[in-house]
Every structure is written in C-alpha cells, then in structure tokens.
Amino acid sequence: MNIQILKSELNYKYVRSSGSGGQHVNKVSSKAELYFDLNNSVVFSDEKKQKLSEYFGNRLTKDGILILACDESRSQFRNKALVTQRFIALIEEGLKKQKLRIKTRVPRGVKKRRLKNKRINADKKANRKTPNIE
C-alpha cells in the first residue's frame, strides 16, 4: 500500500467547529472533514476494496465514500493531521489478516476445580436450610 498515492486521493473540507475557540469561534473553520472514495480508488485491488467495504460497514455512504471528521484542536492544520492519522490507522486495521483460531481442549485441572467449587457452593447453601428432623 503506497501511502503517498493514498493521501493524494483524499479530499478535505473545513467547516466551523463546535466547542472552545474564544472570539474567533464564528469566523474560523477549523473542523477538518476527510472524504475518501473507496470505489474509485486506484491504490487498492478489487479484493482489498471488498474487504475494506465490509470492514467499514455502515461508515460508508451509499456512494462508497468514507467520511471522517476531527475538531479536537483549535488548529485547522492539527485537525487535518489527526484525521489523516485516524484514516491510515483505519485502513491498516481493515486490511489486517485475521489469525486463525486454533481450538484447544479445556484442561482437566480446570474442569476439576470448577466442579469442586460448585460442590462447595452447593454444600454451603444446603447447610443454610433448616434440618429435617423426623
């Protein structure tokens, strides 16, 4: 995966952010929104696009566009950097190959301990009952 080409496919939009900002809050557009068109990307093969679309699930729009936003910082530049980092991390996570789970048996000692604890608990509760004297 070539990150430089991937970054060239990203589109950014800046909008007014909620939260702190002081006197500039109504003048500065510091919230960064990242748009990535997965369907028209040249970086990924068809299999990788399919895998990513399954990973993103309902994060994608109907047109196959991923939208991420960041308004943590007051700085537009910092928000752009943060949202780009998140995007790359998401892509790497989505393309990770899942490890096959190897079935293992439950050890005999674990089974014995569990049954022993069940017996102790049952005896404890049985001892709380009033004795049946005939």
Residue 97 identity (one-letter amino acid) = K
Task: For the chain, 134 residues long, give each residue's pLDDT as a single digit of tens.
Answer: 688 888 888 999 988 877 666 666 667 788 899 999 988 888 889 999 899 999 988 888 998 899 999 988 888 899 999 999 999 999 999 889 888 999 999 999 999 999 999 999 999 999 998 887 87
Helices (H), 9-75: 46-56
* pLDDT score, position 114: 97
Residue 12 in any domain: the answer is yes
Q: Is the dihedral of CA 8, 40, 70, 2 positive or negative?
A: negative
Neighbours of 83 (CB within 10 A): 21
Q: Confirm whether 22 is domain-assigned.
A: yes
How many distinct structural domains can be found in the chain? 1
Tell me the CATH number at 13: 3.30.160.20
Range of the domain at 27: 3-95
- Looking at the domain assignment, is residue 86 inside a domain? yes
